Structure 1
């Protein structure tokens, strides 16, 4: 058995995506290319790890039922790992067994594994060299999944593994001599929030398509992805009012945008007269979309003068969400969410019509709720305004192309977080709280709790962790629970859709929830609470009549994804095996108290929903979203769930 992790010593072939990436790096930066070779196997292992974790947790092809946990010392094989236990999964059709070293066992039936991984077959043991090997095992047990969806999924994991290697090798190359903790790197940056977004090198912690950039070359991936930190020249165009639709939070659309971008109005007047300008809106376009979509597919509108490119000079930077861009301090113009025809974590990331139209309306509803309901008056949480949206809409387009053409050119403007935070606080995207870098494995989460422990004179790291999480959890639940219980609004407050601002002592100052595209609303409940959805976009997928759908959206994003990921991370950084369950018990108490507060703010007739939510949220088992199953079964339009053990259970 060859247990070496070095790619070249394993003598294996590159995939098409890996060959392209290595060829590009060799032509531009030989040293980076050397790092790429070194990081190829770790990168493949990280995508494989996500796939194995999903495979077991989702019980895909009955894998959980055919698995058990064994001590390394009891294996007849020698594995290259420092872990003490291994997850063993049998695949009877091929008579093969997968061995995945276990790095942690956590709430919601989560078993974290880490490479290298191994497969045995008739007493022969081989190292898993690519996540495709795991996919093939799945398909051998479920041949009906061997179809177009699984072929696309294979393309996705190939692309993700290659892009993971580009990202990880850039990090090892760029930070080769840096030994301080990541939090220090972020905090010392002139724009800590932007730096925190750029620090999330590995992407989605659970999704096998974590680094998917299908449709982009290695060069454009490097130019436009957050971890590489390149300035991105934002493009602006004038678009005739008769081929666009707009929405604003307050006032006139053009006035809003020109007010935000100093000098943009003057640039527009260099192309048309003041009178003509009244016939146009102004919109921002991602440069990749500008070059690859606008100039190729909207030539008629450009030739006719219905769309006019503007020469306005402003650099933005990519956030962790590829299509959301932001300026660097001291510039505080809006964050901008844009259409990009790039395949990322399972979807083409264009911008739906409903997102640009509904965002400002949802902002107005949320702002009214926060200002009138005492439940939101003294909490350490807020939402971030979506101030204006626009999308292309040509009334003469046939129905089969109208949606595509509209969604390819959409823009949503969001308040810059640096205009909202206290000046002496440090804003971070929570995804960065569990990130590290090559020469220091201390996460910002650990750094913050260490700060908190020192400033609060708490005797142990474990106790400091519990107190820190109580405040952090309280903040996010103070916003998300009342909204879903009382108003039927399920915020999608996962690690990427929130911003946490921290005090100098490491404690949370305020939690901010952003991005209303993926939330869900119980239309009847919100209407009964006095808020109309009459002017929402007619294709609004966020509106539903399913209370289960609404609850699951809130629970998965806020509790399973956001809090679950942070708690699992801190559990790995301490020596107390009971710490994780203790934190979950404290969160259960917080939810219990908060539900009582919500009930006391409602009339008896309004409280019928609370008992049902109590029964669900404190039940022994609860739904978990199956991200890999959904991809393989091609169920992108609705969610698939499995029941998992619930750490919030109350007796």
Structure 2
């Protein structure tokens, strides 16, 4: 039985996300009038009006709403009580083209969020009971609890934090959507539910697979990741009259194994090009549920899952990832002298040789498991603005309290100063020296929080990287990338990509969170970020003018990510502009 308050909270959340996205991305029909006041937003289309109660508004058109959305037509006025009702009103009265498919996706996202909230409450209850049993103080700080778990070998701090990103991307109404997975499958395979996942091991004939590695070892998974499985695989394959050295290991997702591989690769199995085995390896889902953390192994694997989620709509696929081992080596060189920022090594990628659609359905890459062995806690950056089930505070607030500080103007300023300086300075150096911009969104970064505001960052993945090839080739003259067009961009595009990910999709989240507290303002916090960037840019090195133009200009740009769901027939995303909170005359 779903508790009523949980269902209503999740439903309201998706309603508010949908409305905020339509406003932010300017997706209302032509002729719609939007009127803002400090406490209310009024959206009018002909005789139809929606009223929304506003708690506060942040940069980049981010609203925090409360109470019911009110719909009025003529003298008739009523509260909107569900996502389904809001969809009907937007479709019928506001000419928003919400298809049946999109309706199902929004409802599925809401239902997944309900399950996430239910599980979070259950975790809080279990932790409270265990504290009572262990005679631990009820007011135990979250970071103290994390260290308690790690010291007792119960779990790693990073993997625990992966499960805390209950909200996901705070503004995207489809963040929780995982169709065509059932709700039960979502509960088995996503990080919030902390389940151990058994990944099937398959064998692909060497003539049917393409691999790329940093050490030219096409048997990288067998030799480096699961060498303990060699004898078992050999015993399995030899009675079939086959030789293990002619096959390559492919780790697959159990949902993909059950629902997709049998459908697309039945003939491969019958011809022994693809061999199922009875062996599995244990893993846990990370925030990106297609990346799985291998238990008791120093690796993570990224696997194909033919599930629609917002993170799947990206410019890269496994077929174009054959350059990534080479690029990660370059990035490790770029940041080798920076002790506070590193990029996870991706030593191996593979996909089967088939048509484009099927190749991407059976693919796997290996990442070095992120780890920092220093005092403090290593956590997913996205978890910082999510509530934890221990002290029921936002994770970042718990960190400040763990340091012995309350959430005050002084402690927040100190945190934002340290955080932005440690993160931004090496990223700007990388653009000036190498023409490279990493995806610095919260979802792609792991942060280590130590004593006295000490911080280190690890970038999970390079899929969102953009490169100004002329600048990079000045440093690496013999560089050859098979899919250089995927990564290549003008220097202005490179800088804009960094601005969008690190400011709009990362630091803006922290600023939005902290400005709910008295005495803490956007102007003050963005002023700190502005000064960090200004100090980091070296006028004597390349691209200084472009960096200043993009970071300090009057307007900044973003892509309309929700437009493709409303209008899938459109080939290109719409570009939207916002006032820049970092605008400065420099």
TM-score normalised by the chain length of structure 2: 0.89
- Check conservation: 2:32, 2:44, Cα contact below 8 A: no
DSSP 3-state at the match of 2:180: coil
Q: CA deviation at 1:632?
A: 1.9
Choose which of 146, 152, 158 in structure 1 pairs with 2:107.
Answer: 158
Residue 297 of structure 2 corresponds to 332
Whole-angstrom distance in 1 between the partners of 2:313 and 2:575:
23
CA offsets 1:569-597 (integer angstroms, 9 cap, x no match): 1222x21142x32121111111111112x
Separation in 2 of the partners of 1:478 and 1:69? 37
1:647 to 566, 576, 581: 581
- SS of 1:116's partner is strand
Give the RMSD, CA atoms, in angstroms: 2.8
Return the offset for 1:152.
Answer: 2.9
1:612 to 2:546 alignment: yes
SS at match of 1:563: helix
Alignment pair present for 1:59 and 2:26 = yes
- After superposition, the Cα gap between the structure-2 partners of 1:367 and 1:378, relative to the gap in structure 1 and judged at 3 Å, is closer
For 2:243, the equivalent position in structure 1 comes to 276
- Output the CA distance in 1 between the equivalents of 2:345 and 2:210: 19
Write out per-residue CA displacement over residues 189-239 of structure 1, whole angstroms, 9 at most, x where no aligned residue.
Answer: 321111101111122211110110111112211111111111100111121
**What is the alpha-carbon distance in structure 2 between the residues aligned to residue 128 and residue 106 of structure 1?**
25
Structure 1 residues 214 and 471, CA gap change in structure 2 (3 angstroms): same
Q: SS at 1:480's partner residue? A: helix
Instruction: Mark the CA change 1:110 to 1:486 in structure 2 (over 3 Å): closer, same or farther.
Output: farther
Residues 388 and 414, structure 1, Cα contact 8 Å, conserved in 2: yes
Please say if residues 340 and 349 of structure 1, whose CA atoms lie closer than 8 Å, have aligned partners that are also in contact.
no
Matched with 1:412 is 365
Q: Does structure 2 retain, via aligned residues, the 8 Å contact 1:118–1:128?
A: yes
1:560-579 equivalent positions in 2, closer than 5 A: 560-572=504-516, 574-578=517-521
Output the CA distance in 1 between the equivalents of 2:403 and 2:228. 44
Could you report, residue by residue, the CA deviation over 1:234-266 in whole angstroms, capped at 9, with x for unpaired residues? 111121111000011234131464222241222
Show structure 2 runs of 5+ residues with no match: 129-137, 150-154
Is the counterpart of residue 34 in structure 1 residue 2 in structure 2? yes
Structure 2 residue 433 is matched with structure 1 residue 465:
no
Among candidates 85, 108, 111, match of residue 63 of structure 2: 111
> Could you tell me which of 125, 129, 133 is aligned with 1:176?
125
Unaligned runs of 5+ in 1: 1-32, 72-84, 372-376, 395-401
Residue in 1 aligned with 2:152?
Answer: none
Match of 1:322 among 266, 289, 307: 289
Q: CA deviation at 1:134?
A: 4.3
Report how far residue 645 of structure 1 moved.
Answer: 1.4
1: distance between equivalents of 2:196 and 2:109?
Answer: 23
Cα separation, 1, equivalents of 2:391 and 2:253: 34
TM-superposed CA distance for 1:160, in Å, is: 0.5
Contact map agreement 2:32 2:45 (CA 8 A) in 1: no
Q: Tell me the CA shift for residue 468 of structure 1.
A: 1.1
Q: How many residues end up aligned between the 2 structures?
A: 567
**Preserved contact between residue 145 and residue 390 of structure 2 (Cα < 8 Å):** no
**Where does residue 441 of structure 2 map in the other structure?**
494
Alpha-carbon distance change, 629 to 352 in structure 1, aligned in 2, over 3 angstroms: closer
Counterparts of 2:333 and 2:570, CA distance in 1:
33
| Paired residues of 2:344 and 2:460 also in contact (CA < 8 A) | yes
Q: SS of the residue aligned with 2:446?
A: strand
1:174–1:256 CA distance, 2 compared to 1 (3 A): closer
Q: TM-score by structure 1 length?
A: 0.81
CA distance in 2, matches of 1:636, 1:468: 42
C-alpha distance after superposition, 1:436-460 (max 9, x if no partner): 1578541110111223354xxxx97
Q: Secondary structure at the match of 1:253?
A: coil
- Provide the C-alpha distance between the structure 1 equivalents of 2:221 and 2:97, rounded to a whole number of angstroms: 51
Q: Using the alignment, how far apart are the partners of 1:104 and 1:131 within structure 2?
A: 22
Q: Distance in 1 between matches of 2:528 and 2:575?
A: 26
DSSP-derived class of the 1:34 partner: coil
Using the TM superposition, give the Cα deviation of residue 55 of structure 1 relative to its aligned residue in structure 2, in angstroms.
2.1
Instruction: Using the TM superposition, name which of 124-133 and 317-326 deviates more.
Output: 124-133
In structure 1, C-alpha distance between the alignment counterparts of 2:531 and 2:31, rounded to whole Å: 31
Contact 1:428–1:500 under 8 Å retained in 2: yes
Question: How far has the Cα of 1:68 moved from its partner?
Answer: 3.2
CA contact 1:476–1:511 (8 Å) conserved in 2: yes
2:343 is equivalent to residue 383 of structure 1: yes
Distance in 1 between residues matched to 2:328 and 2:570, nearest whole Å: 27
Tell me the distance in 2 between the aligned counterparts of 1:238 and 1:310: 8
Q: Is the 8 A contact 2:436 2:465 kept in 1?
A: yes
Distance in 2, matches of 1:194 and 1:64, equals 48
Distance (Å, rounded) in 2 between the aligned partners of 1:506 and 1:302? 57
Deviations 1:415-469 (A, max 9, x none): 1113xx1243311001111111578541110111223354xxxx97211111111
